Structure 1
């Protein structure tokens, strides 16, 4: 796992480096103190995950996230925030961030968050998931292309935060079949990962907050 750390506070970067560097086989490939440096670092080194602070002087993390995604590098952005419901988080997710996590989470949870995002899965900090989903659900600005009935089932399951294994069990199909459906959904929606697919599903009205119940 190759990770880049972006935060304007040197002490925060130091702490994050210590946590990430303690994981066997993981490497911090660079640090940046603002968004402009983050874009340069990400496009040059192409890390698996960028830990991105949003509120920074100069070029902020939101702009940096958008530019990293636009550059087409296979890097996932994990937003670091101080607040459980941060206005900037909504825009960051729409800009292509794959998830967000609170800066105060325990080290083990941060490591797991990085691992989840790197694998292409969705990550929304549990305490804030409902608020984020409701914000997306009110937009209603996008329409979905035609999905097969099974792809619609899979997309609804993704919106509930289900893993490939859980979806396979619910639909009585093989995990590889679920992966194939997910790949098709991403292609049809024109998005890069599961998080963005879920955002499109809620913004389009295809699913609603009430659909998140198990």
Structure 2
């Protein structure tokens, strides 16, 4: 039986410990390293050769789609399984398009995590049938109320708006001009079909955007 080497990246130690225990209960899975942010992840990758990377979507430093693209640029052959609190129907498609091989919500059953790790190690994709159908049916079309249609910067802006930040506060945090953030806001409102800020907040509440850490 071939042993699969797994690298874990999550900024919460208790999450890493939980995932590690699930994987170590399987004879064919070995955890060879851990990282709590993107910088540490890159350092570990310079000295290890994992078969699979299991990573959170939101960590200090690079995060979200930017993190996935960065990892795949540096290590294009490394299969990436995103293990996130974000609901799959809202974020999985964006992650797959960015280069991830699989996506799993953190409230999934432990056996699904093991199956996903083994599956992407074999060069397959691991996602729900609904996400797979969306990817195959229409991989590039922007649809109303589909957050997958947003650019990475628009996604960063919409999550911060959902958390109640003003355009000025977002501009300061993302090191952008107020005009640029306002432009991103106008575009995402149009793409998502929002008529006003109340629509945005209602959507954020219904889809759990305000329960997660900011990307």
* 1:108-137 Cα deviation digits (max 9, x unpaired): 111111000000012113354445556624
After superposition, residues 119-158 of structure 1 pair within 5 angstroms as 119-133=122-136, 136-138=139-141
The residue correspondences of 1:1-214 to structure 2 (distance < 5 A) are 1-72=4-75, 74-82=77-85, 83-87=87-91, 89-133=92-136, 136-138=139-141
Q: Report the structure number with the largest CA radius of gyration.
A: 2
Gaps of 5+ in 2: 143-215
Say whether the 8 Å CA contact 2:8–2:31 is kept in structure 1. yes
Contact between 2:93 and 2:131, CA under 8 Å: does it hold in 1?
no
1: distance between equivalents of 2:75 and 2:100? 13
Cα deviation for residue 36 of structure 1 reads 2.1
Quick one: structure 1 residues 118 and 128, their matched pair in 2 at CA, closer, same or farther if it must change by over 3 Å? same
> What SS does the corresponding residue of 2:81 show, helix, strand or coil?
strand
Q: TM-score, normalised by structure 2?
A: 0.57
**Does the Cα contact within 8 Å between 1:39 and 1:64 map onto a contact in 2?**
no
Q: Work out the CA distance in 2 between the residues paired with 1:41 and 1:55.
A: 18
Q: 1:92 to 1:42 in 2, by over 3 A?
A: farther
For this pair of structures, how many residues does the alignment match?
138
Distance 1:72 1:13, change over 3 A: closer
* Contact 2:88–2:103 (8 Å) recurs in 1: no
User: What do residues 147-201 of structure 1 show as CA deviations (whole Å, max 9, x unaligned)?
Assistant: xxxxxxxxxxxxxxxxxxxxxxxxxxxxxxxxxxxxxxxxxxxxxxxxxxxxxxx
Change (3 A) 1:23 1:67: same
Partner of 1:149: none
CA distance in 1, matches of 2:60, 2:71: 18
Cα distance in 2, alignment partners of residues 115 and 5 from structure 1: 15
Q: 1:72 to 1:33 in 2, by over 3 A?
A: closer
